[in-house]
């Protein structure tokens, strides 16, 4: 096992529904440590940097627009294999397909084509985690 860090975002839909506490509870219950936490409404510039690899794809603009629509909770977590572990805890991207017991499976809603409204984001690799943490928490 490798101790690593990951960025977790409670997206605007999760924040609006008051699910930040439940998401954090599940993260801590899994045994991961909260290293940094911030509640903010992201700037377009930060979102463009965060989602740069998706620029030009059909879902890019709706995703950036949605993510800037309200406050998010940005969290850096740390723990053994926490990138893979959190992504499993989050569940499948589409809440309708996410397994019961996962964040998206238990708390997500069927928004049709709006799969970006799926409660949480988690880094998908150590390289992404490092890049994303640098965007959201430049002092770390």
Give bridge partners of residue 40 from the DSSP assignment.
72
The neighbour count for residue 91, using CB atoms within 10 Å, is 23
**Residue 121 is a catalytic residue:** yes
Q: Is 57 annotated in some ligand binding site?
A: no
Give Cα separations from 135 to 14, 23, 49, 52, 100 (angstroms): 21, 21, 7, 12, 32
Q: Is 94 annotated in some ligand binding site?
A: no
Comparing C-alpha atoms, which of 94, 95, 96, 84 is closest to residue 122?
84
Q: Is 2 annotated in some ligand binding site?
A: no
Q: Is 104 annotated in some ligand binding site?
A: yes
Selected catalytic residue, list 5, 26, 50, 121: 121
| Residues 7, 43: Cα–Cα separation, whole Å | 17
Comparing C-alpha atoms, which of 16, 58, 21 is closest to residue 41?
16
Residues contributing to the annotated binding site: 11, 59, 87, 93, 104, 118
Residues contributing to the annotated binding site for ATP: 11, 59, 87, 93, 104, 118
Residues forming the active site: 121
């Amino acid at each position: 096992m490798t101790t690593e860090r990951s960025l977790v975002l409670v997206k605007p839909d999760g924040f609006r529904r008051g699910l930040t506490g439940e998401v954090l509870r599940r993260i801590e219950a899994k045994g991961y440590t909260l290293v940094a936490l911030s509640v903010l409404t992201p700037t377009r510039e930060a979102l463009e940097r965060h989602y740069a690899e998706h620029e030009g794809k059909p879902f890019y603009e709706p995703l950036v627009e949605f993510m800037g629509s309200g406050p998010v909770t940005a969290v850096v977590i740390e723990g053994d294999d926490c990138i893979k572990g959190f992504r499993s805890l989050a569940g499948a991207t589409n809440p309708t397909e996410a397994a019961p017991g996962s964040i998206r499976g238990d708390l997500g809603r069927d928004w049709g084509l709006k799969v970006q409204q799926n409660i949480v984001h988690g880094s998908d690799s150590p390289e992404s985690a490092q890049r994303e943490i640098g965007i959201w928490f430049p002092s770390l």
